[in-house]
Amino acid sequence: MQRNYRDPLHNMISLNEEVKEDRLIIELIDAAEFQRLRRIKQLGLAMFTYQGAEHSRFTHSLGVMHLMTRTLNLLGVHHPISDEARIVGRVGALLHDLGHGPFSHVIEKVFHFHHEDWSRRIVLDDATEVNQILRRFDARLPEKLAALYQHLYQPAFVSQLVSSQLDCDRMDYLLRDSLMTGAKYGIYDLEWVLHALKIDEASDRIYVEAKGLYAVEEYLQARYYMFRQVYFHRTLRSAEAVLVSTLKRARLLLENQQLGFRLRDSIFEKLLRGEPITTAQYLQMDDTEVTFHVKQWAHDNDAILADLATRFINRRLFKAVDLELTGDAEAGFWIKARDLVAQAGYDPEYYLIADHASDIPYYGIYSPAGVAPEKLIYMESGSTPSTIKEISEVSEVVRGMRSYQINRVCFPLELSHEIARLINDSTAREA
């Protein structure tokens, strides 16, 4: 019997319940921990900018598993791949985002955790449905997945297909996010990339045949522009700034016993306090939990918290403006901006935010510098005899890709004229 998932990107993702490996994946999809991903948006707060960006980590994870299945099937035509490696790869792809918290990456910078760590904890915790399903199939499968996520699993090429600079995760989310946002920057030739992938058996790594060079260059350019135009969009980052300020204010009020609405000893309160929580408790957190609390705080007696929460709920966001100041001019701007915001009756701690985009876990620009070898992209050179090299040694396009900086200031829209005047004055002095 077929289990079919109708997918907006891949059309039909089909699993056969009579096939043992597919039945394992179906059971994992039906597990409570995986179903939770329906309640976590793939793009966090991008729906404030792109109204179609309502897709979830659930849909993305299914897509990654689907791409992993296709990739292993294609590779298996030319290379021997064990049944275990196929299972670990497909299941690892399915469960790779299991540890994401509310609104994906946004909450991580407030509560100081990493979703990768939680993914491993969930898989290894014998109280979770996911762990029990995995152990029924293979008693060591949870440990194998944990090793996969830490790039310790052998064969190593399987880990690369789950997490590297050219993996099934990125290949899915670029196209999916492009489709759902309506932004066309993330489109690239997926089919040609997949058909150009091969295994360098001597070095146990994935590489791209020479014929796939242009397709991979296109993929890297798509990733670059998606980060610039979608993931780093001003309005999205502004929404994140408002939410982070809201949570920071709530945390301070809680510490001072002044928070109006609170569910005493709740999991969310433990997180606000910075207290450790169990895996079972973490799994109760999703987008709805955070939204519920913010809606209550919109009526708090604390004017700052109520205002910030109301701004978030009603999409009355901060304005985000790029700064092109350096050195003393930039330092002087921030001093004057804090005074200006304070004089207008706003607390700069919550209403004047510097956005350097340094909290994004990986950037759109491809660069071999500082990247572990197992996460790089390897390419077959077109020379005779051909050799396998890191892609920037082969591609002039990749070598020409330049890193970029994001230096923005976020502030209440009501202060637009004042801040604009201050930026202009600071720029004129620097010139």
Q: Residue 280: how many CB atoms within 10 A of its CB?
A: 13
Whether residues 41 and 86 fall in one domain: yes
SS3 for 106? coil
pLDDT at position 156 is: 96
Could you say which of 313, 334, 353 is where a domain stops?
A: 313
CA 366 to chain centre: 16
59 token code pair: 């849909």
SS3 for 173? helix
Whether residues 147 and 31 fall in one domain: yes
Tell me the residue range of the domain where 429 lies. Answer: 317-364+403-431
- How does DSSP assign 267-302, residue by residue? HHHHHHHT----HHHHTT--HHHHHHHHHHHTT-SS
Residue type, 236: L
361 token code pair: 């876990």
Question: How far apart are alpha carbons 339 and 348 in whole angstroms?
Answer: 8
27 token code pair: 């059971």
Whether residues 322 and 308 fall in one domain: no
- Closest CA relative to residue 408, chosen from 372, 369, 366, 359: 359
Whether residues 336 and 290 fall in one domain: no
Q: Kind and range of the H or E element at 207?
A: strand 205-208
Whether residues 270 and 145 fall in one domain: no
Residue 205 in contact with residue 156, Cβ under 8 Å? yes
Could you say which of 188, 220, 254 is where a domain stops?
A: 188
pLDDT at position 361 is: 43
Whether residues 261 and 327 fall in one domain: no
pLDDT at position 431 is: 61
Please check whether residue 8 lies inside any domain of the structure. Answer: yes
Whether residues 44 and 122 fall in one domain: yes
Across the 431 residues of the chain, what is the mean pLDDT of every consecutive 10-residue run?
95 96 98 98 95 96 98 96 98 97 85 89 98 98 97 97 96 98 96 97 96 97 93 94 96 95 90 93 95 97 98 97 90 95 97 78 72 93 86 94 87 95 85 61
How far is residue 120 from each of residues 60, 123, 313, 384, measured CA to CA in Å? Answer: 19, 5, 33, 44
pLDDT at position 33 is: 98
Whether residues 264 and 138 fall in one domain: no
Q: Maximum distance among all alpha carbons in the chain?
A: 74
Whether residues 141 and 251 fall in one domain: no
pLDDT at position 234 is: 93
Contacts (Cβ under 8 Å, ≥6 apart) of 205: 156, 157, 160, 199, 374, 378
Whether residues 107 and 122 fall in one domain: yes
Residue type, 170: R
Q: Residue 259: how many CB atoms within 10 A of its CB?
A: 21
pLDDT at position 353 is: 96
CATH code, domain with 91: 1.10.3210.10
Please check whether residue 221 lies inside any domain of the structure. Answer: no
322 token code pair: 């790029």
Q: What total number of domains does the chain contain? A: 3
Whether residues 138 and 21 fall in one domain: yes
Residue 368 in contact with residue 392, Cβ under 8 Å? yes
Contacts (Cβ under 8 Å, ≥6 apart) of 420: 321
